[in-house]
A = this chain, B = another copy of it.
Amino acid sequence: MKEIQVGLIGFGTVGSGLAEVLIAQQQRLEKRTGLSIRLARVADIMTRELPLQFAGVQLTNDANDLFNDPDIDIIVELIGGIEPAKTFMLKAIEAGKHVVTANKALISQEGWEIFEAAARKNVEVGFEASVGGGIPVIKALKEGLVANRIESIMGIMNGTANYILTRMTDENIPFAEVLKDAQAQGFAEADPTYDIEGIDTAHKLAILVTMAYGMKISLGQIAVEGITRIEPVDIQFAREFGYRIKLLAISRNHGDHVEARVHPTMVPDNHLLASINGAFNAIHFTGDAVGNVLLYGQGAGKMPTGSAVAADVVDIARNIQSGSVNRVPALSYLPDQFVDRRISTMEELSCPYYFRISARDEPGVLAAIAGILSKHGISIESVIQKGRKQRGPVSVVMRTHTAQESSIKKALHEIDSLEHVTSETINIRILETEE
Q: Give the interface size bracket for A toward B.
A: 35 or more
Contacts of A329 in B (CB 8 A): 32
Contacts of A323 in B (CB 8 A): 322-324
A11 contacts the other chain (CB 8 A) = no
A318 contacts the other chain (CB 8 A) = yes
Give, as a whole number of angstroms, the nearest-CB distance from A212 to chain B.
11
Say whether A319 contacts B311, CB under 8 Å. no
Give, as a whole number of angstroms, the nearest-CB distance from A72 to chain B.
19
A332 contacts the other chain (CB 8 A) = yes
Contacts of A324 in B (CB 8 A): 318-319, 322-324, 327
Say whether B290 contacts A297, CB under 8 Å. yes
A337 contacts the other chain (CB 8 A) = yes
Of A139, A296, A318, most buried by chain B (CB within 10 Å of CB) is: A296
In the assembled complex, the Cα of A311 lies from the Cα of B287 at a distance in Å of 13
Give, as a whole number of angstroms, the nearest-CB distance from A186 to chain B.
17
Say whether A293 contacts B296, CB under 8 Å. yes
Give, as a whole number of angstroms, the nearest-CB distance from A168 to chain B.
17
* Besides A318-B328, A322-B322, 15 other A-B contacts (C-beta < 8 A): A24-B289, A28-B149, A31-B337, A33-B334, A136-B144, A144-B311, A147-B314, A291-B303, A291-B304, A292-B298, A294-B295, A296-B296, A319-B324, A322-B323, A323-B324
The 10 closest A-B pairs by CB, nearest first: A136-B144, A322-B324, A147-B310, A324-B324, A134-B290, A289-B307, A293-B297, A290-B307, A31-B337, A294-B296
